[in-house]
Amino acid sequence: METATPTARMTPKDRRATAIMRWVGPVHTALLRAVRGRAMWRFRGGDVVLLTHTGRRSGRQYTVPLLHLRDGEDVLVAASNGGVDAEPQWWLNLQDSPYAEIEIRGERRAVVAEAVPDAEHDELWQRFRAIGGMYDKYQAGVRRRITLVRLRPYRAR
């Protein structure tokens, strides 16, 4: 599979999905923060993490809600972009500056992001598939292999 570039031409389906995510993401984030970890941290059969990262061009902080899995102390997320062929902006930003913050059920911690190596991808992909059929649908709808991202705890020295 080829890797889509962020400037790839978007289909009408991709434009609709992106518009929906741009509206739903901030609303979901605001609701999660308002309830301070007491409710709404499950979505479509998975657990939600809020990922705050720095824009590579703007330098602004952005927060996106994502489904995640735990792997020991690490948190795993899929750069599926809701089935849009281009890589999600949050992943492009993390490739430029991998330091970020996550929030799960009101608890925040610093993390550093890295792509899951190919040797681990298939096994971990099966765990994402178990969350729900959406990941199979997303993968079938894109030309790229969906990147899995490991968020490791980070303690500044």
pLDDT digits (tens, 9 = 90+) for 115-135: 999 999 999 999 999 887 789
Q: How many Å from the N-terminal Cα to the C-terminal Cα in the chain?
A: 39
- Own/partner long-range contacts of 33-39 (Cβ < 8 Å, ≥24 apart): 33/103, 36/106, 37/104, 37/105, 37/106, 37/107, 38/106
Contact, 99 vs 156, CB < 8 A?
no
| pLDDT(98) > 80 | yes
Predicted pLDDT at 16: 58
Exposure b/e, 63-81, CB count within 10 A at least 16 = b? bbbbbbbeeeeebbbbbbb
Q: Hey, what's the torsion of the CAs at 72, 86, 90, 24, to 10 degrees? A: -100
* Interatomic CA distance for residues 57 and 44, integer angstroms: 32
The whole-number pLDDT of residue 61 equals: 95
Kindly state the average pLDDT of the residues 50-77.
95
Domains and CATH numbers, the chain: 12-153 (2.30.110.10)
DSSP 126-151: HHHHHH-THHHHHHHT-SSPPPEEEE
Least confident window among 27-31, 37-41, 98-102:
37-41
Asked whether the predicted pLDDT for residue 2 surpasses 90, the reply is no
pLDDT at residue 22, rounded to an integer: 60
**40 compared with 100, residue with greater pLDDT:** 100
Q: What is the mean pLDDT of residues 3-30?
A: 56
The answer to whether the pTM exceeds 0.95 is no
Q: What token pair was written down for 149?
A: 């991202």
Total Cβ atoms within 10 A of residue 28: 18
Q: State yes or no: pLDDT of 88 exceeds 90.
A: yes
Three-state DSSP state, 111: strand
